[in-house]
Amino acid sequence: MNTKIKVLLVDDHAVVRAGFRMLLSAQESIGEILDIDCGELVIQEYRQFQPDVVVMDLSMPGIGGLEAIRRLIKQYNNALVVVYSIHDEAIYVERAMQAGAKGYVTKNSAPEILAEAVQKVVQGENYIESNLSSVLDDESEQDAELYREVIDLLSPREFDVFCLLAKGMNAHEASEQLCLGYKTVANYSTQIKHKLNANTAAELAHIAMALGVVKR
């Protein structure tokens, strides 16, 4: 590749973005890097900066990473996105790839893995970190069907709220975590329970454990 890869970094933590920049800029193949702190700015900055690849966190306030990916791909269907997330559960990988990501790497992976993922995706390949691939391969047919059903039922933001509620947060705590209004999260909670046929937080937690979102 003669031209260096332009990267747009999206993460709400300044320290993490600084680490990303240092990690990627050390690679010969990586050129200009622009970083932003929220999903709401992705389309605007993508249009102006025209990156070769977007490195996207999932857990961010506002619209969050999954919805940001979905919106970006809807407007720019050739956009290349590599997710770089703390989440190593299969369902997060499934949802990110369904939203349109081409790569998925966890933040506890070796530093060179992210750079490798960026290069592979720009070359036209999909890239899922090797240990995550094995997790996906090990899913039972029943588990995979359950993933599919929940993915089809919940919007990206509903999924974010579902995960927080299932981990024991109340609507007030989830609204603070996601920087959403309390009434908005309460409405999401009602919609989620209706869609999943769950009446209590305990039932949501049970579904989340079955999906691997909450550890047993």
Check pLDDT > 50 for residue 1: no
pLDDT value of position 145: 63
Segment 153-168 mean pLDDT: 85
pTM higher than 0.85 for the full model? no
Segment 156-177 mean pLDDT: 86
CA distance 4 to 187: 45
Residue 76 burial by CB count (10 A; 0-12/13-18/19+): exposed, middle or buried?
middle
Q: Which has the minimum average pLDDT: 18-32, 100-114, 138-152?
A: 138-152
